[in-house]
Amino acid sequence: NAGVTQTPKFRILKIGQSMTLQCTQDMNHNYMYWYRQDPGMGLKLIYYSVGAGITDKGEVPNGYNVSRSTTEDFPLRLELAAPSQTSVYFCASRGGLAGGWYEQYFGPGTRLTVT
């Protein structure tokens, strides 16, 4: 199993450009999450999905969009990039087994710089 994979690893965007961060998991997990991590700030939830076709906003959704057409893929779209979106982005997934097991598995991250 590859687990959770993210592409690209690094990206530099100009202000106003758009891009999609890709996230794929091969564990057949229902739950998927997008976080951003700024220095000294921990991880902040951007969007999440509880299954194909179902998404919802997290703590910091402004400037982002998501879709979930399949169980495996959960792309994050940045429209009109701004310097405030410079961050490291992590995708995570969770199986949602019975018994309240909440461990999330994280991808390797995408480092995005907007200049």
Partner 1 sequence: EDKVVQSPLSLVVHEGDTVTLNCSYEVTNFRSLLWYKQEKKAPTFLFMLTSSGIEKKSGRLSSILDKKELSSILNITATQTGDSAIYLCAVVVSSNTGKLIFGQGTTLQVKP
Where do contacts with partner 1 occur on this chain (CB under 8 A)?
4, 31, 33, 35, 40-45, 48, 50, 56, 58-59, 90, 94, 96, 100-109
3-state secondary structure of 41: coil
Rounded CA-CA distance 39/59 in Å is 17
Which single residue is written with the structure tokens 């993210």?
A: 6
Residue 104 CB, nearest distance to partner 1 (Å)?
7
Residue 42 CB, nearest distance to partner 1 (Å)?
4
Residue 15 CB, nearest distance to partner 1 (Å)?
27
31, amino acid identity: Y
